[in-house]
Structure 1
């Protein structure tokens, strides 16, 4: 199959490209960074260098492809993040329609069933709506959990204050996912026959923040590492002080509030969806310790 992957060689793109190339598929990887061209070609894929907001570039790249993995970059542009993300999704959709692509897998998120109150996830809700209007393409909306790798953002807090924390409490249920489990699920979906529009959740584990702090603490020899719940204002100001742009800090604070209320996770938890990922929290904690 001829398969186009967006997301460059990131935490999802690299293992996904390796899987598909190893299976003998003709793989093209989209990257906005020309410096990635050599690395992409080194793994046996073709490089397409350009912007995911450029309809003409995407259309030219997509023509003749059997399947597309569509992933819009997080925090696109630094300002007007949600609208920029939606615009990129609309560019993908126009290119998919023009190039007459029949199979699409879109990386979405838990909480994408909601139109707002979810921080940056809101952009994915609107992109799902755009892709739902694609007439000729079978689309799988792959709704991922909270990335384990986001926990690396807590390293300065652990080293500086001896805590982990966010603006949601110690006991909520959090669907978690490893990027490599996402890559496996994307590969499965790209290669299977499908019709219509379908939702699949990809989750590796469901744990509480308290369990996250315990597992990480054990892995890094800080067995008393606590999870501390912050107020929304404390969370917002902490992220701004750490150097995040105010808009992005505000979106992440809103997402944390959505996790605290349970609305972001409600569709997955109440829907009794399967946990398909293989990499559990304790497995990731070992990876965390190696990079700590």
Structure 2
């Protein structure tokens, strides 16, 4: 098969590409950064350098493809994430239709069944709706929960403040996933034909914020590492101080609110999949390696 992957050589796309290449598929990886071309080619893939918003570029990149993996890259400085996600979704839809692609696997998110109240996931909800309208394709939305790797952003907080936390309390439920398990799920889906639109939920572990603090803390020799519940206002100010746009800072605060009230998990719980194999304790070793580096 000829398979096109978006997402450059990130935490999902790189292991995904390796799996597909090992299975003797011809893989093209799209990146907006020309510097990544050499690393892409070193994997054994072809590089296509351009912007996802450039529909003509995408159409050329998708031409002749048997399957395409789509995702919406994060954008922390956009002033309107919904418009950003819709723009990319429309570009994907037009290019997929023009190129005649018949199999699409789209990285989505738990909580994408909600149109609002779910932070930046509201943009992913809109992207799903756009892709759903493409006629004549087999489309799978892989709805992933909270990435383990998000906690790598807390390494400096743990190192310098001796705490970990966010704008939700220690007893908050957090469903987690490892990027490697997303990659494996996407790789399998790309190689399997489907008809119409399907949604696939995945996860690796289901814990609380307190569990996360205790497990990561134990891995770095800080078994009493506390989870601190920050208020919404302070959380937003910290995000703005770190360069995040007003729109995105507000949306990240809203994610915490959605975690507090549990609305993200409602549809996930109705379609509970089999848990993956990479547990919080496994990720804690990766966290410790970064912390101790």
TM-score in same-fold range (> 0.5)? yes
| Cα offsets for 1:201-240 (capped at 9, x unmatched) | 1211111100000110000100100111122112111222
Q: Give the corresponding residue for 2:217.
A: 217
Q: Give the corresponding residue for 1:161.
A: 161
2:50 and 2:174 map into 1 onto residues whose CA distance is 35
Q: Aligned pairs, how many?
A: 291
Residue 42 (structure 2) pairs with residue 42 (structure 1) = yes
CA contact (8 A) 2:114 2:122 kept: yes
Secondary structure of the corresponding residue to residue 27 of structure 1: strand
| Cα offsets for 1:30-83 (capped at 9, x unmatched) | 000000111000110000000001110000111110000001111176322221
- After TM superposition, list the pairs within 5 Å mapping 1:5-16 onto structure 2: 5-16=5-16
Residue 268 (structure 2) pairs with residue 268 (structure 1) = yes
1:9 and 1:244 map into 2 onto residues whose CA distance is 23
Q: Give the corresponding residue for 2:255.
A: 255
Q: Give the corresponding residue for 2:202.
A: 202
Residue 288 (structure 2) pairs with residue 289 (structure 1) = yes
Q: Give the corresponding residue for 1:188.
A: 188
Residue 67 (structure 2) pairs with residue 55 (structure 1) = no
Secondary structure of the corresponding residue to residue 106 of structure 2: strand
Secondary structure of the corresponding residue to residue 143 of structure 1: strand
CA contact (8 A) 2:202 2:275 kept: yes
- Superposed CA RMSD in Å reads 1.2
Residue 91 (structure 2) pairs with residue 91 (structure 1) = yes
1:35 and 1:76 map into 2 onto residues whose CA distance is 21
List structure 1 runs of 4+ shifted beyond 6 angstroms. none
CA contact (8 A) 1:76 1:85 kept: no
Secondary structure of the corresponding residue to residue 257 of structure 1: helix
- After TM superposition, list the pairs within 5 Å mapping 1:75-114 onto structure 2: 75=75, 78-114=78-114
1:239 and 1:155 map into 2 onto residues whose CA distance is 16
Secondary structure of the corresponding residue to residue 119 of structure 1: coil
1:242 and 1:49 map into 2 onto residues whose CA distance is 29
Unaligned runs of 5+ in 1: none
